[in-house]
Structure 1
Amino acid sequence: MTTHIQSPQARCVLALSGGIDSRVLLHLLARYVRDNQCPAMAVHVHHGLSSSADQWVERCRQWCTEEALPFQVAYIQFDTQGKGLEAAARQARYQALERYIDKGDLLLTGQHRDDQLETFLLALKRGSGPKGLSGMAASMPFHQGRLIRPLLHCSRAEIEAYANTHQLSWVEDESNQDIRFDRNFIRHEVMPLLVARWPHFPQAVQRSAELCASQEALLDELLQERFQAALQPDNRLSVRCLLDCGDAVRAQILRMWFHQFEHQMPSRVQLEQICHQVLLAKSDANPCCRIGNHEVRRFDGYLHYVPVYADIRDWQCQIKFNHPVELPDGLGTLTLTDGTLLTLTLTLTLTLTESTLLTERTTEKPVEFGLDKRCLSTPLWVSFNPEGLVASPVGRKGRHKLKKLFQEYRIPSWRRRRMPILISGQQVVAVAGLFVDEHFSGSDYELIWSTDT
């Protein structure tokens, strides 16, 4: 058994669970490092799901000390909302490992041929197409580097034989025996029957997975031009371009779009919902389709892929001069300071999906209005609920509902309750990053909305 790493000088980061697969890979990696003098380290992700989790940390630490490899522990907590325990743990594990992968690094994981068979059968059970049936790739982009599975063509029996030959010890996760989990049921109940009947079944599945991956790559290559025509630099997707496609092409372009986010891939039913309920919605509708912890939204002729945000409409806080207010849900801080240039400043770093929403307003020039001292004549409050509020933005005549103003400023519905509203008594003073009410425009104060993310 040998490892195959194409770049001998790349730093190798081993995902070390402590099970037999990653334990064998640790032994192989240590030998590879000695032969090639390349940098390497091991990372153990502590889920806290087992009563033995702390013991596993110490066993992994001991093995890394014996192999003279640096060792790190990533402690994680995760939410299973919207997905099963296995899927949630897997997603949280890879998110934790991303923190250790710098540009050009290789993340090594211990999946093998039997794991590939389990993955294939699980995808078959879900009714997956070529993308799902292609299983796990031996090499693929990951964060700033690549994910490598050196043992993917080795069987579990070969790995066990190697471990016994080299007298390696490893930890046993008791949950691996629980056949309530689908993967364990396939491993303990289904695979033995299949392999007993057809000994070469795992190799046949590996070939089928590789063929499916090849077909998927061909589809992506043939549709790349159409996909790029629909895709905007900020990752919006043109509704017009999608509607010009046939059903099969449209579904594939949507899969290509989701693939770049490296999040949960939608099911066939969800793709149909996106096509029929979101793409074909009326222009004044506010359609939405939830995919895991994100949503597909339609706005201004484009599809947007946005997180499911917390509901903060009932949050409010008093704001005082030179006392920054910490905004909820990672929205940064809001500060009322002395005005010099007297501009209402938006210094918020947006996600790729959101960045376009204020593009026309922020790329031309800042909103050049400050606040008059009259705004402090009554206590000032920060709110995120625009319902029932009206305002008179500088340069506009008359008073208008915030809902109408948000529409005119082309702010999509999912951001309208995430923009801080400054209120004096019952009057809107300003909407941070958008406008100042003409009754409070002046040269005394400056409102700054900022975030470090």
Structure 2
Amino acid sequence: MLIKKEIQLILCKFKKILIAYSGGIDSTVLLYNLVQLRKKYPIYLRAIYINHNLNYQSNDWMKFCFLQCKKWNISFLYENINIKIKSNIEQYYREKRYQIFQNFIKKKEILVTAHHLDDQYETFFLSLKRGSGPKGLSGMSKIKIINNIKLFRPLININKKQIFYYAIKKKLKWIEDPSNKDIKYDRNFLRNIILPKITNRWPFFKNSVIKSIKNCQEQEDLLTDLINPVLIKLIQKDNSLFIKPLYNYSIIKRNFIIRKWIEYNKYYSMPSRKALFIIWNEIVCCKNNNNSQIKIGKYSIRKYKNYLFCIKYFPCLKNKILLWKNLKIPFLLPNKLGKLIILYFNINYKKQSIYIRKPKYNEIIYIKFNITGKYYFNNFKNKKNINNIWKNLSIPKWKREQIPLLFYNNKFIAELENKLITQEGKATFSKKDNFFIFWDKIY
């Protein structure tokens, strides 16, 4: 087998394996090795082909992969990506692939990919182009967690020549994707134009880069070990970062802490120097109440009191007004906030639901977000400003913006997060005129 014994032992421990299978030489060699490993150990194999629809032959390639998996008795899955974009193509499709993997991966199943040593070599140069530090220049790790998926790269220390000769020796068949020659993609430009010239001039250069990658990995590991005791004290149970001590640290130290904290929050595209400057000067050091934020990819960095939060970015719902037409059907909320369910008998959800009056025959139910104003809530004698209530409950502004508010026509009935019921929504003495509303946050 091409995979070394130590890697075989790691793979067989996982037992359930999902391989990203494109039909190319690298993933074909990896799949063949996994099939051989299955003969020795009780592992369950599945393969997934992702059709990017960038080539007219892509459906034929999917069929090839399906027949190959059928021949080797492997469960075969496939998914399509149909959205076309013109910029940041490689990054976009990479993100889409991992979203798909997340949808298909099973509990205790590991994802394996066919990244090899030459991919590592190319990644170093791509990171260098972006101006990365030791973290970026340390390349791809053998094992990594991405989007809660455990990713393993069994071929990461094996070069392309070894893979090619192995495939020839075992008489394997694979797909040759012509787009691998298209130099409009950065990786292909490096692979086909730049790196061959470097290797021709300096045959030892690839080995030197691999050594540099290992040095960067060791340096990053050392820095992480040194900063972890501080980081553990600063990171809170809700994954926020306590920022008060950062004012006493050097720029280098605080930037490294913020980077590591963002990584801890499972966001893997590290912020640039410019982004770190904005995080510190416009968010951490911001004294006014404009609730500044910076968007990094699909996440947003925001401050509340003495804490930084790394939260998934969702569009603002401030002016969103949603109509709930059929009360017999659960109402699906935007931004993956879950759904609202009306219950007439509340046995299992008593603590999580609110008890209010039903709408009258001429009242229509609306869901709104992020309102202002004073209202009579629950048993308060005086009107209370809803924003002041949220402040007293220490609810950050971005969380307030995502709380569904129930209206009958223009009458504010209830705030569904903290069970704030207005006088207009108060349940009547007649049980038949009331119901429970349960906010199911599981999406």
Query: 1:68-89 deviations in whole A, cap 9, x for unaligned?
Result: 33322234456869x7110121
| Counterpart mapping for 1:367-382 below 5 A | 370-372=355-357, 376=360, 378-382=362-366
Code of the residue aligned with 1:203 in structure 2: it is N
| Counterpart mapping for 1:67-78 below 5 A | 67-76=72-81
| Counterpart mapping for 1:257-268 below 5 A | 257-260=261-264, 261-268=266-273
Q: Does 1:181 pair with 2:185?
A: yes
**CA offset at residue 190 of structure 1?**
0.6
**CA offset at residue 378 of structure 1?**
4.7
**CA offset at residue 234 of structure 1?**
1.7
Equivalent residue for 1:317, pick from 314, 323, 344: 323
Q: Which shows bigger deviation, 203-212 or 325-334?
A: 325-334
Q: Does 1:238 pair with 2:242?
A: yes
Code of the residue aligned with 2:206 in structure 1: it is P
Kept in 1: contact 2:98–2:147 (CA 8 A): no
Kept in 2: contact 1:107–1:148 (CA 8 A): yes
Query: For 1:282 and 1:187, how far apart are their aligned partners in 2?
Result: 49
| Counterpart mapping for 1:40-439 below 5 A | 40-76=45-81, 84-102=88-106, 104-141=108-145, 146-260=150-264, 261-282=266-287, 284-312=289-317, 313-318=319-324, 324-338=330-344, 346=352, 370-372=355-357, 376=360, 378-387=362-371, 389-434=373-418, 435-439=420-424
Code of the residue aligned with 1:68 in structure 2: it is N
**CA offset at residue 60 of structure 1?**
1.0
Change in 2 beyond 3 A, CA 1:346/1:419? farther
Percent identical:
28
SS at match of 1:30: helix
Change in 2 beyond 3 A, CA 1:315/1:50? farther
**CA offset at residue 226 of structure 1?**
0.8
Query: 1:259-315 deviations in whole A, cap 9, x for unaligned?
Result: 231442212211221111111111633010100011011113211111221343323
Query: For 1:167 and 1:105, how far apart are their aligned partners in 2?
Result: 30
Code of the residue aligned with 2:440 in structure 1: it is S
SS at match of 2:95: helix
Kept in 1: contact 2:343–2:437 (CA 8 A): yes
Which residue matches 2:426? 441
Change in 2 beyond 3 A, CA 1:428/1:101? closer
Change in 2 beyond 3 A, CA 1:199/1:103? farther
Change in 2 beyond 3 A, CA 1:330/1:314? same
Query: For 1:264 and 1:80, how far apart are their aligned partners in 2?
Result: 20
SS at match of 2:216: helix
TM-score (norm 1): 0.85
**CA offset at residue 64 of structure 1?**
2.0
Query: 1:101-149 deviations in whole A, cap 9, x for unaligned?
Result: 4455443211122211110001111110000000011233456674332
SS at match of 2:366: strand
SS at match of 2:14: coil
**CA offset at residue 14 of structure 1?**
2.0
Query: For 1:388 and 1:149, how far apart are their aligned partners in 2?
Result: 52
Change in 2 beyond 3 A, CA 1:138/1:78? farther
Query: For 2:335 and 2:148, how far apart are their aligned partners in 1?
Result: 27
Q: Which shows bigger deviation, 211-220 or 93-102?
A: 93-102
Q: Which shows bigger deviation, 203-212 or 153-162?
A: 153-162
**CA offset at residue 319 of structure 1?**
5.7
**CA offset at residue 318 of structure 1?**
4.2
**CA offset at residue 321 of structure 1?**
5.9
Q: Which shows bigger deviation, 278-287 or 206-215?
A: 278-287
Change in 2 beyond 3 A, CA 1:442/1:104? closer
Unpaired runs of 5+ in structure 2?
429-433
Query: For 1:97 and 1:325, how far apart are their aligned partners in 2?
Result: 28
Aligned residues: 430
Query: 1:136-191 deviations in whole A, cap 9, x for unaligned?
Result: 11233456674332222222223222222333221122322221111111111110
Query: For 2:326 and 2:412, how far apart are their aligned partners in 1?
Result: 16
Kept in 2: contact 1:371–1:436 (CA 8 A): yes
SS at match of 2:74: coil
Change in 2 beyond 3 A, CA 1:370/1:31? closer
Which residue matches 2:3? 3
**CA offset at residue 243 of structure 1?**
2.9
Kept in 2: contact 1:229–1:241 (CA 8 A): no
**CA offset at residue 323 of structure 1?**
5.4
SS at match of 1:73: strand
Q: Which shows bigger deviation, 212-221 or 29-38?
A: 29-38
Kept in 1: contact 2:366–2:408 (CA 8 A): no
SS at match of 1:445: strand
SS at match of 1:74: strand
Change in 2 beyond 3 A, CA 1:131/1:9? closer
SS at match of 2:90: helix
Code of the residue aligned with 2:438 in structure 1: it is I
Code of the residue aligned with 2:62 in structure 1: it is V
Query: For 2:223 and 2:369, how far apart are their aligned partners in 1?
Result: 45
Change in 2 beyond 3 A, CA 1:330/1:107? closer
**CA offset at residue 65 of structure 1?**
2.5
Query: 1:25-46 deviations in whole A, cap 9, x for unaligned?
Result: 1222222222334332322222
Q: Which shows bigger deviation, 255-264 or 384-393?
A: 384-393
SS at match of 1:442: coil
TM-score (norm 2): 0.87
Query: For 2:382 and 2:191, how far apart are their aligned partners in 1?
Result: 69
Query: For 1:321 and 1:193, how far apart are their aligned partners in 2?
Result: 68
Unpaired runs of 5+ in structure 1?
348-368
Q: Over aligned residues, Cα RMSD in angstroms? A: 2.9
Equivalent residue for 1:31, pick from 18, 36, 49: 36
Query: For 2:290 and 2:83, how far apart are their aligned partners in 1?
Result: 34
Query: For 1:425 and 1:33, how far apart are their aligned partners in 2?
Result: 63
**CA offset at residue 96 of structure 1?**
2.2
Q: Which shows bigger deviation, 240-249 or 225-234?
A: 240-249
